[in-house]
């Protein structure tokens, strides 16, 4: 199901999941002085998402929180209508990578086969493998367009996010995504070498634990990501019911148009006290 890893990119074997980080010997050169040292690296492994026995996608991902990843990917890609259509998840480690086996409802499986993609994903690949242009832009669900994004909530989320980035602290190589409530409190955060994967893990965690959204699963949260804001990131956030998305880097023009069309607030270049609002400025409380 997962091809054997090439010799140049070995995956730890033994039937156990690889650790999210590994230690590697390096030679540091600073100010003309050489020194041998040990450095922490973020691991990435091929992760196959297998639905009812059929491999649908292979993504390069950080081998942690893979159940969240599988559920979030299934929801954000529209493969299932809700988490209840996923009946079971098994994570199987092999010599060539990791297979996440999902058992899904017959209705969802039939629909998936009709629009099947085969993704040979680079790290964090969002649309690679889409086999027709009409699959790129999906119909998004209604969003809570009356919700206001407070500038202080953006700043609160940004200030709190570093404390949720344990992997990045030791490796400097992972993205983070978080779900924040209206006050900017981080409800759940996840890390991954791929920005799309990190957001999928957050979406999966929310779906697996609905109480994280608050009473009755109220949809009044926004997504916070340590990356640029692309079309794929807007789509995934919208599929999760986010009324806004905040990114620390730039947005793309297509992402701004999509956010405007969906009634989503889009904030980018969010760093420290400063940010730029590209869509939904009328719902920004300064």
Query: Mind listing the pLDDT tens digit for each residue in 166-195?
Result: 999 999 999 999 999 999 999 999 999 999
Q: How confident is the model at residue 5 (pLDDT cuts 50, 70, 90)?
A: very low
Q: Which of 126, 135, 131, 186 is nearest to 161 (CA)?
A: 186
Buried-state track 61-77, b at ≥16 Cβ within 10 A, e below 16: bbbbbbbbbbbbbbbbb
CA-to-CA separations, 169 to 32, 50, 81, 178, 231, in angstroms, rounded? 26, 32, 36, 16, 28
CA-to-CA separations, 176 to 158, 166, 170, in angstroms, rounded? 11, 10, 14
Largest CA distance in the chain: 63
Q: How far is 196 from 176, CA to CA, in rounded Å?
A: 10
Q: How confident is the model at residue 14 (pLDDT cuts 50, 70, 90)?
A: low
CA-to-CA separations, 166 to 21, 40, 113, 234, 274, in angstroms, rounded? 11, 12, 38, 25, 24
- HSE at residue 174, side-chain half, CA atoms within 13 A, is 31
Q: How far is 140 from 267, CA to CA, in rounded Å?
A: 19
Q: How far is 11 from 60, CA to CA, in rounded Å?
A: 12
| Residue 231 pLDDT exceeds 70 | yes
Q: How confident is the model at residue 4 (pLDDT cuts 50, 70, 90)?
A: very low
Q: List, as one string, the DSSP characters of 177-191.
A: EEEE-TT--EEEEEE
Cβ(231)–Cβ(96) below 8 Å: no
| Residue 119 pLDDT exceeds 80 | no
In 100-239, which residue ranges form alpha helices assigned H by DSSP? 106-114, 151-160, 166-171, 195-208, 231-239
Q: Which range, 86-90, 118-122, 257-261, is most confident?
A: 86-90
Name the active-site residue from 9, 125, 180, 277: 125
pTM of the model: 0.88
Query: What pLDDT was estimated at residue 185?
Result: 96
Q: What is the pLDDT of residues 191-200, one digit of tens each?
A: 999 999 999 9
Range with lowest mean pLDDT among 5-9, 166-170, 229-233, 266-270: 5-9
Give catalytic status of residue 125 as yes or no.
yes
């Amino acid at each position: 199901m997962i091809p054997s890893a090439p010799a140049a990119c070995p995956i730890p074997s033994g039937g156990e999941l690889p650790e999210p980080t590994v230690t590697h010997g390096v030679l540091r050169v600073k100010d003309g002085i050489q020194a041998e040292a040990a450095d922490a690296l973020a691991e990435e492994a091929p992760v196959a998402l297998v639905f009812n026995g059929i491999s649908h996608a292979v993504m390069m991902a950080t081998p942690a929180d893979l159940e969240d990843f599988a559920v979030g990917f299934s929801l954000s890609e529209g493969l299932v209508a809700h988490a209840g259509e996923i009946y079971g998840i098994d994570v199987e480690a092999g010599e060539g990578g990791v297979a996440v086996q999902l058992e899904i409802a017959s209705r969802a499986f039939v629909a998936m086969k009709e629009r099947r993609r085969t993704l040979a994903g680079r790290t964090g690949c969002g649309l690679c493998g889409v086999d027709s242009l009409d699959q790129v832009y999906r119909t998004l669900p209604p969003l809570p367009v009356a919700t206001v994004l407070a500038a202080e909530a953006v700043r609160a989320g940004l200030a709190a996010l570093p404390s949720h980035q344990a992997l990045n602290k030791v490796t400097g190589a992972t993205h983070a995504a978080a779900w924040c409530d209206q006050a900017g409190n981080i409800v759940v955060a996840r890390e991954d070498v791929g920005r799309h994967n990190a957001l999928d893990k957050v979406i999966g965690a929310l779906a697996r634990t609905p109480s994280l959204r608050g009473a009755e699963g109220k949809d009044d949260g926004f997504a916070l990501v340590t990356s640029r804001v692309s079309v794929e990131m807007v789509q995934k956030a919208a599929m999760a019911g986010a009324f806004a998305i905040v990114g620390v880097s730039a947005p793309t023009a297509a992402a701004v148009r999509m956010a405007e069309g969906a009634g989503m607030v889009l904030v980018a270049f969010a760093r420290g006290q400063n940010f730029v609002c590209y869509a939904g400025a009328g719902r920004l409380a300064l």
